[in-house]
Structure 1
Amino acid sequence: MAAAAMLALPAVAALDIGDPVPKFTANAALGGKTFRYSLADALAKGPVVLYFFPAADSADCSIEAHAFAEAIDQFAALGATVIGVSADDIDTLAKFSVKSCQSRFPVASDEAKTVIEGFDALMQTRPDFANRLSYVIAPSGKVAYYYQNLNPDKHVERMLNALRALPKATPSR
């Protein structure tokens, strides 16, 4: 019961549970290779965990990316994909995608901060950076859950719990 109560207490963000998310495409990297990522294409396959992070290769961002990489099979078992987004350039993220993400999930570059701003993930105290903010986006394109905390320790756990709480649907594959 306590876990369910905690799940129902998301942080304050502009996009609330049930709100439609802005669809975007962005340059991304997976395993050091760059490609064009489309949120709409990812949502067509199932729920998406979209997480924003301040800076590749910083200690906490590396910890968080490693945690997502270690849990990627659990996300896949729940039918979800994971994408990280920061304001870092694509070359920096290509290296980060190998080193910290262990080539297990993509990270997207948003140097113009349009995606970051669209998801209200801009760090207010340091506007050159994204805040540490994670979303579970349902295949319908609506926010199912979000969590904001600069401490990277609980993001993976909270995203997995939110995915487990989603109504079961047959994904189209």
Structure 2
Amino acid sequence: MNKQLIGLVSAGVVTAALSFATPTLAAALGPGTAAPDFTAQASLAGKAFTFSLKDALKKGPVVVYFYPSAYTGGCDIEAHTFASNKEKFDTAGATIIGVSEDSIQRLNTFSADPKYCAGKFPVASDATGKIATSYSLKTEAAQAGVTDVRGVAIDHGFIERTTFVIDRDGKIVATLSSEADHIHPEDHVKKSLAIVQNLKAGKAP
């Protein structure tokens, strides 16, 4: 079983027994690589819009964080921590965008939820996993009987928890992986914040 799903099970989030093989893909794109451009339907404070990485980069660095699913243990912690630190990212001139295979309907609720995104930053729907694949991330197929913390069925796949910090020139300057580096969800936020603050100060990431 994939380590991410083991973590969800141990947190009491996934209520079904899961048994399936993890697909083998190349490691996530690393520093020095050009970040694949993407546009996606996203939600901010419960309202859908089209997010463009290219447009966001015109304003400064972008933190693109991929996560398995809204309303699951680690993802809820991560979203809440990003929301709590949003002003610090703003000061560093950085944009935050979360990406998962959640439907836009689920994200409209999650993005507005005061306990999680709290309307402070957008989350995008990668329903087909195309964006995740372009960043060489692994995904797990949807499984019957899996529910979120609200008891609502999760009918989409899980993307491995990975954060990319992209400079305004479109280059990946850092890749943070829970699976490869054993990084806790909160540390994705702390480490990416430190990196964009260094970029703002003209220091090496």
Interval of TM-score (by shorter of Structure 1 and Structure 2): 0.7 to 0.9
CA 1:31/1:16 → structure 2, altered by over 3 Å: closer, same or farther? same
Contact 2:92 / 2:200 at 8 angstroms: preserved in 1? no
Superposition pairs for residues 148-167 of structure 1, below 5 Å?
A: 148-149=177-178, 151-166=184-199
> SS in structure 1 opposite 2:102?
coil
- Residue 161 of structure 1 and its aligned partner are, at CA, apart by 1.3
> SS in structure 2 opposite 1:60?
helix
> SS in structure 2 opposite 1:62?
helix
- Residue 49 of structure 1 and its aligned partner are, at CA, apart by 0.4
Q: State the identity %.
A: 42
Mark the structure with the bigger radius of gyration.
2
The two structures have a TM-score, normalised by structure 1, of 0.85
Superposition pairs for residues 5-154 of structure 1, below 5 Å?
A: 13-99=27-113, 100-123=116-139, 126-127=140-141, 128-149=157-178, 151-154=184-187
C-alpha distance in structure 2 between counterparts of 1:43 and 1:119, whole Å? 17
C-alpha distance in structure 1 between counterparts of 2:138 and 2:106, whole Å? 19
Contact 1:110 / 1:116 at 8 angstroms: preserved in 2? yes
Amino acid at match of 2:48: T
Contact 2:178 / 2:185 at 8 angstroms: preserved in 1? yes
The two structures have a TM-score, normalised by structure 2, of 0.72
Deviations 1:8-51 (A, max 9, x none): xxxx9431111001101000000000000000000011000000
C-alpha distance in structure 2 between counterparts of 1:167 and 1:30, whole Å? 25
- Residue 168 of structure 1 and its aligned partner are, at CA, apart by 4.7
| Higher relative contact order (CA closer than 8 Å, sequence separation 6+) | 1
Which shifted more, 126-135 or 108-117? 126-135
- Residue 59 of structure 1 and its aligned partner are, at CA, apart by 1.5
Unaligned runs of 5+ in 2: 1-25, 142-156
> SS in structure 2 opposite 1:56?
coil
Unaligned runs of 5+ in 1: 1-11
Residue 4 of structure 1 corresponds to none
